[in-house]
Structure 1
Amino acid sequence: MNCLICVGVAERIDCTGPWEERDCPKCGRYRVSDKLLLTLMEQGQIFDITKTRRWLNSKRHAGCTPVIEIEEALLVP
């Protein structure tokens, strides 16, 4: 399976709900909403790897897996 951020090799994690979860050696463990993935695919967009990794790192605390939803992705400068 591939990382949804950097497209490197990543482990797909089974999760419930409208999410895709990955554990990437470079990007770490995270979830992305299905709605965001569909929007990115429809628009031919990709994640900015550096900005996304920085955002994920800022959201990792107390062992929680960061979740990227469409609202966050549209607001990240």
Structure 2
Amino acid sequence: MNCLICVSTAERIKCHGPWEERNCPECGRYRISDELVLALMDLGQIFDVSRMREWLENQRVDVAIPSIEIHQALLVP
């Protein structure tokens, strides 16, 4: 399985609800809403990897597993 942020090899974690969860050696553990995954595929968009990793690190101050929803995605312009 691949990381949904940087596309490196990542472990897929089973989770309940409308989420995809990954544990990437580079990006860490996170969840992405199914809505965002579908939007990325439909629009051919990709994440700004360095900005998204920074956002994830900032979120880990408050939560162990950050969740990325469509309005939080840091995409390449």
Query: By how many angstroms is 1:61 displaced?
Result: 2.6
Counterpart of 1:45 in structure 2 is 45
Query: By how many angstroms is 1:62 displaced?
Result: 5.3
RMSD: 1.6
The structure-2 alpha-carbon separation of the partners of 1:56 and 1:42, relative to structure 1 and needing over 3 Å to count, comes to same
Query: By how many angstroms is 1:73 displaced?
Result: 1.5
Counterpart of 1:19 in structure 2 is 19
Divergent runs of 4+, >3 A: none
1:10 matched to 2:6? The reply is no
Q: 1:33 is matched by which residue type in structure 2?
A: S
1:35 matched to 2:61? The reply is no
Secondary structure of the structure 1 residue equivalent to 2:31: strand
**Structure 2 segments unaligned to the other structure (5+ residues):** none
Q: Which moved more, 1:33-42 or 1:58-67?
A: 58-67
TM-score by length of structure 2 reads 0.90
Total equivalences in the alignment:
75
TM-score by length of structure 1 reads 0.90
